[in-house]
């Protein structure tokens, strides 16, 4: 599979290749952090340029196997653009195509079935304001009720309606979804989403009364986030994450 890397690199723009490297890194990081679910769930990224083309994982590969050259390019209907020996999961792209079609500002859609995320998605109260991490999630959070495996095109408008202009979407009884203006932004958002859920599960298991953060602090979270990240958002942490990945698992770049 990696033998095709030089060929793919020469056939695409440099902007697309850089997007491929970032997306492959995101898949590997999701695996490294333990949020993957065998070969299931997906991360998609918009291909730079006027065409409505997107990159998504080959169905059947583990996230730890994804490389820049193995990513599949598809159109907005999930049809492959160019040759690939792999297929696309129709359920996976149903969710992603709906978001990409509705949100021109979104460059990356990241969806996981993380253990803590699914656990909180099954709790009636959803995300609670229990931690510093949670205030950033709560400042831009939406919910979508479970309708079964995402195979039905009819679900798309309801999913888009529920997401609205938010960055975090809790798929009830299903998992977590984040969107970003870059792959980096979607990944760092998912880090905060999953850690928020992990903290909540552990706090609720302690058997003690919980202290909730006040709403006025939640309301100021986005302003605080911009100050903490110096306006760079998730991009501030991305170079460090790539260095971490390069030390442990540099094969994603091929």
The confidence score (pLDDT) of residue 90 equals: 67
The confidence score (pLDDT) of residue 1 equals: 45
The confidence score (pLDDT) of residue 88 equals: 84
- Give the predicted TM-score (pTM) of the model: 0.94
The confidence score (pLDDT) of residue 149 equals: 86
Residues of the chain whose pLDDT is less than 50?
1
In angstroms, the CA 16 to CA 212 distance is 44
Mean pLDDT of all residues belonging to the chain = 93
């Amino acid at each position: 599979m990696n033998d095709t890397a030089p060929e793919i690199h020469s056939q695409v723009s440099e902007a697309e290749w850089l997007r491929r490297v970032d997306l492959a890194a995101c898949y590997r990081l999701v695996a490294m952090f333990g949020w993957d679910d065998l070969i299931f769930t997906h991360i998609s990224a918009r291909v730079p340029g006027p065409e409505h083309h997107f990159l998504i994982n080959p169905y059947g590969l583990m996230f730890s196997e994804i490389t820049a050259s193995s990513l599949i390019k598809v159109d907005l209907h999930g049809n492959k653009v160019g040759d690939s020996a792999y297929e696309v999961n129709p359920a996976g792209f149903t969710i992603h195509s709906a978001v990409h079609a509705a949100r021109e500002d979104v460059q990356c859609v990241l969806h996981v079935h993380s253990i803590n995320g699914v656990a909180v998605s099954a709790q009636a109260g959803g995300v609670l304001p229990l931690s510093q991490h949670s205030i950033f999630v709560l400042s831009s959070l939406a919910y979508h009720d479970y309708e079964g495996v995402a195979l039905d095109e009819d679900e798309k408008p309801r999913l888009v309606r529920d997401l609205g202009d938010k960055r975090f979407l809790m798929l009830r009884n299903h998992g977590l979804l984040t969107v970003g203006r870059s792959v980096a932004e979607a990944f760092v958002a998912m880090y905060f989403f999953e850690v928020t859920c992990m903290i909540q599960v552990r706090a609720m298991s302690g058997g003690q009364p919980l202290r909730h953060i006040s709403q006025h602090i939640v309301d100021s979270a986005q302003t605080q986030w911009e100050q903490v990240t110096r306006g760079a958002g998730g991009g501030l942490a991305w170079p460090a994450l790539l260095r971490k990945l390069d030390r442990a698992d540099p094969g994603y770049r091929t």
